[in-house]
Amino acid sequence: MIPVARVREVILAACPQLPPAAVPVADALGRVTAAPVVAGHDVPSFPNSAMDGFAVRASDTAAAPVALDLVGTAAAGAPPGVEVGPGQAVRIMTGAVVPAGADAIVMVERTSPGPEGRVTIEVRASPGDHIRRPGEDLRAGQILFEPGTELGPGHLGVLASVGAETVVAIPPARVGVLSTGDELTAGIAPLVPGQIRDSNRPMLLALVARAGCIPVDLGTVPDDEIAVTAAIQRGVAGCDAILTSGGVSVGDFDYVKTVLDRLGDMHWWQIAVKPAKPLAFGTVHGTPVFGLPGNPVSSLVSFELFARPALRQMMGYRTLFRPEVPAVADEALRRRPDGKVHMVRVIATADADGRLHVRSSGGQGSHLLRSMALANALALLPDGDGVAEGGTVKVMLLT
């Protein structure tokens, strides 16, 4: 059996980053930048008020309280159309252009209305008070984000603030998902004996979408060499990577193995991990292909351990792996020595002190998908007897 870390190395070496492209900012959430992002103009682009209040000449307020003549109102969104002369003030709203002549804003809470046509300023203002200077936030030509930045909602806001239309980033990988097996049915019709519903395909399509890729449904094909060949060829032609499930074990009808061996340059691994021990990986016409196991839990764990990091690398992410953190086992998590790391489906919760605690989420057979669905983490039990109640265990967080 080959260790998980070695398998990851081989896979990552065969999954280079996709070429960058100009991505519309509207589609850029979650993308990773591939060139420095530069501000096209200053933000703010004009001096504006940080408060609702009054624009004044600071020198006029030296002897506050003082009454100033009210000569107009400046609202956000339009040039003020008035100037502030000596002894004058303009009512101003947050975000409005500071009128010429004014050099300070006095917040409305530090003023009182009147007498007649005037406003009484109750405090001394200093030049610059509550004025947002041009370029105070961002300067034209400034590098906003270095290459390798994962764009989140805040980044999209910054890009919008400088009027960026596109950003040079790694596009999402198009990832094909194919199920194989004569026993599989995709519809909702009653099952005939021997049939099962194809749960891997919707699950893997969802995992792919969650990983930030574009899922491409390649359908369900029977255990038939011609059908499997056609589906894989169609997949590698239109996708950046493909995932198949089923047919990679040692059964009589495991044609995925035969087909991939003929079309591609494949590794067939027995990995020192449970579940997810068998894995096929290689490239077909340069496209990475992951032959995931058929058992649904194995398929999901295999995706998490091996496919997701590779897809993230292709999309330029700097962190590839799920975080692994220590947790307290609130119940014993027992296992037998067998040379493998066991990935135990657990529910992790944080206590009031921020310490993580884990409990099994249910049965651990690799066909028992519900306990996988309920789990939010996988406890990593190294080869041995497991961990006693109250012991510390490393967990891989899935959310």
Please say which residue, 32 or 248, places its beta carbon nearer to ligand AMP.
248
Shortest distance, position 245 Cβ to Mg ion, whole Å: 9
Q: Which is nearer to ligand AMP, 44 or 294 (CB)?
A: 294
Between CA 212 and CA 177 the distance in angstroms is 15
Angle at 224 between CA 238 and CA 283, to 5 degrees: 40
Q: Distance (Å, rounded) from C-alpha 161 to C-alpha 139?
A: 12
SS3 content of the chain, % helix, strand, coil (to 5): 20, 35, 45
| Cβ nearer to ligand AMP, comparing 24 with 251 | 251
Q: Which 29-58 positions form the footprint of Mg ion (CB under 5 A)? A: none
Write the burial class of residue 267 (CB in 10 Å: 0-12 exposed, 13-18 middle, 19+ buried).
Answer: middle
Q: How far is the CB of 303 from ligand AMP (least distance, A)?
A: 13
Chosen from ligand AMP, Mg ion, none, partner binding at 364 (C-beta under 5 to 8 Å by type): none
Comparison of 201 and 340: residue with beta carbon closer to ligand AMP? 201
Which CB sits closer to ligand AMP, 159 or 203? 203
Residue 171 interacts with Mg ion (CB under 5 A)? no
Pairwise CA distance, residues 116 & 128, whole Å: 28
20's contact among Mg ion, ligand AMP, none, with CB below 5 to 8 A by partner kind, is none
Which entry of Mg ion, ligand AMP, none binds 53, CB below 5 to 8 A by partner kind? none
- Residue 54's H or E segment, with its range, is strand 53-56
- The residues with which 287 forms a beta bridge, in sequence order, are 284
Note the residues at the interface with ligand AMP (CB under 6 A): 179, 181, 183-184, 196, 198-201, 245-249, 251, 293-296
349 C-beta neighbours (distance < 10 Å), count = 14
Beta carbon nearer to Mg ion, 296 or 316: 296
Q: Could you tell me the smallest distance in angstroms from the CB atom of residue 234 to ligand AMP?
A: 18
Task: Rank residues 204 and 348 by Cβ distance to Mg ion and give the closer one.
Answer: 204
- Looking at residue 60, the DSSP 8-state letter turns out to be G
Work out whether 293 is an interface residue with Mg ion (CB under 5 A).
no
H helices present in the chain, as ranges: 4-13, 153-161, 200-210, 225-238, 255-263, 296-302, 308-314, 369-374
Measured on CA atoms in the order 336, 339, 345, 349, is the torsion positive or negative?
A: positive
| Residue 221 binds which of Mg ion, ligand AMP, none (CB < 5-8 A, kind-dependent) | none
200 binds, among Mg ion, ligand AMP, none (CB under 5 to 8 A by kind): ligand AMP
Which is closer to ligand AMP, CB of 167 or CB of 177? 177
Strand order in the sheet with 166-170: 21-24, 166-170, 32-33
Q: Find the shortest distance in angstroms from Cβ 179 to Mg ion.
A: 9
Question: What is d(CA 178, CA 280) in angstroms, rounded to the nearest whole number?
Answer: 14
Omega cis (within 30) before 99? no
- In the complex with Mg ion, which residue's Cβ is closer, 107 or 227? 227
Q: How far is the CB of 192 from ligand AMP (least distance, A)?
A: 14
- Answer yes or no whether residue 181 interacts with Mg ion by CB under 5 A: yes
Site string for Mg ion, 244-283 (x = CB under 5 A): --xx------------------------------------
* 293: partner contacted, choices Mg ion, ligand AMP, none (Cβ within 5-8 A by kind): ligand AMP
**Per this entry, what is the length of the chain?**
399
Quick check: 138 and 158 in contact, CB under 8 A?
A: yes
Q: Indicate the residue whose CB is closest to ligand AMP.
A: 294
**Could you tell which of ligand AMP, Mg ion, none binds residue 229, using a CB distance below 5 to 8 A set by kind?**
none
* 103 neighbors 121 (Cβ within 8 angstroms): no
Q: Under a CB-based contact definition with an 8 Å cutoff, are residues 351 and 358 in contact?
A: no
Least distance between ligand AMP and beta carbon 183 (Å): 5
Using CB under 5 A as the binding criterion, the count of chain residues that bind Mg ion stands at 3
Closest separation between CB of residue 138 and ligand AMP, Å? 50
Residue 398's closest CA among 362, 353, 344? Answer: 344
Cβ closer to Mg ion: 291 or 386?
291
Say what the alpha-carbon torsion angle 15, 19, 20, 22 is, to the nearest 10 degrees. Answer: -130
Residues forming the site for Mg ion (CB under 5 A): 181, 246-247
